[in-house]
Amino acid sequence: MTSKPETTIYTPLPSDPNSPPTTVHTYVLLPFYPHTRHPLLRHLRRSILSLSLLLLLSLTIFLLFPSDPQLKLVRLRLNHIKVNSDHHLSLDLSLSLTLKVRNPDFFSVKYDALDVSIAYRGKKLGFVDSDGGRIKARGSSYVNATLLVDGFEVLHDFFYLIEDVAAGKVPFDTVSTIKGEFGLFFLKIPIRAKMSCEIDVNPKDQTIVHQNCYPQ
């Protein structure tokens, strides 16, 4: 029976006899196993990320999407009203209005003009246009307008006018309209706001006895 040759493990001698012997180190290499996440945690993480992106997109659209300006009647004054019956039944009227225009957007708004018209029982008597302007973001602007009706002949509704004057309450309707555009980068988006007011005036004591305004 042949015996196996003996194997001798030794450390090679250094070239310099005076140097200390070399120490042999043994290293054990272990394979790397990546940490696996639970499927439920991965799904929850993706859902939170998707929800965050959706909320961010909704907030961006809410901030950038243009809204129409808001109109509010701040002051209304009756300067004078007179019913003439010399030759034909006619009407003289002067109203002064102060309107507040508010821009709720986060960008400035440019409006071309503010139109205010007045009518009696559905019949338009006159209108006035004010100059345009620009309203800064989240800001407001005040616009003054004066409606003048001079010698308007009342042909079809003169019986109603006589009754209204005798009752001390003549009803008028005013419509205020503002038109402009919303500028976002290279986009120009048209905007519009409209407000109507119902006004009853007393020609005897030259006063406004009732007013009611609402947006349209």
Residue range 114-172, pLDDT digits in tens = 899 999 998 899 888 887 888 888 889 898 989 999 888 887 788 898 899 999 999 99
CA separation for the pair 183, 110 (Å, rounded): 8
Query: Where is the domain boundary, 66, 81, 108?
Result: 66
Read off the pLDDT of each residue in 47-52 and give the average, rounded to a whole number. 80
Do 149 and 182 lie in one domain? The reply is yes
55 plus 79 within the same structural domain: no
In a domain? residue 142: yes
Average pLDDT over the chain, rounded to an integer: 80
> How many domains are contained in the chain?
2
Q: What is the pLDDT of residue 8?
A: 47
Is the dihedral angle over the CA atoms 69, 141, 201, 94 positive or is it negative? negative
13 pLDDT more than 80: no
Nearest C-alpha neighbor of 175 from the set 80, 91, 73, 104? 73
Residue 7: pLDDT over 50:
no
- Residue ending a domain, among 48, 66, 84, is 66
In this structure, the answer to whether residues 62 and 162 fall within a common structural domain is no
Q: Between 14 and 207, whose confidence is greater?
A: 207
Residue 15 confidence (pLDDT) above 60:
no
Q: Are residues 124 and 51 part of one domain?
A: no
What CATH number is given to the structural domain containing 196? 2.60.40.10
Q: Are residues 90 and 162 in the same domain?
A: yes
Neighbouring CB atoms inside 10 A of 120's CB total 20
Q: Which residue has the higher pLDDT, 92 or 137?
A: 92
Same domain membership, residue 173 and residue 121: yes
Both 58 and 153 in a single domain?
no
Average pLDDT over residues 50-72: 73
Q: Indicate whether 62 and 129 sit together in one domain.
A: no
Q: Is 89 left (phi over 0), alpha (psi -120 to 50) or beta?
A: beta
Q: Are 60 and 117 in a shared domain?
A: no
Beta bridge partner(s), residue 133? 111
94 within domain boundaries: yes
Question: Is the Cα dihedral 109, 114, 115, 116 positive or negative?
Answer: positive
- Within 10 A of 66 (CB to CB), how many other CB atoms are there? 19
Taking residue 25's Cβ as centre, other Cβ atoms within 10 Å add up to 5
CA dist 59 → 65, 133, 186, 190 (Å): 10, 29, 21, 22
- Least confident residue range of 6-20, 91-105, 106-120: 6-20
Query: Among 170, 176, 179, which Cα is nearest to 199's?
Result: 170
Residue 22 included in any domain = no
Please check the confidence at residue 9 and state whether its pLDDT lies above 50: no
Mark whether 83 and 189 lie in a shared domain.
Answer: yes
What pLDDT was estimated at residue 38? 66
Domain limits for position 44: 37-66
60-64, 82-86, 137-141, 205-209: which is most confident: 205-209
Which tops the pLDDT comparison, 5 or 89? 89
Looking at the fold, whether 113 and 126 belong to one and the same domain comes out as yes
Do 47 and 122 reside in the same domain of the chain?
Answer: no
- Residue 27's identity, in one-letter code, is Y
Report the run of H or E that residue 206 belongs to, with start and end.
none
Which ranges of 11-157 would DSSP assign to H, the alpha helix?
A: 39-64
Mean pLDDT of 85-94: 85
In a domain, residue 157? The reply is yes
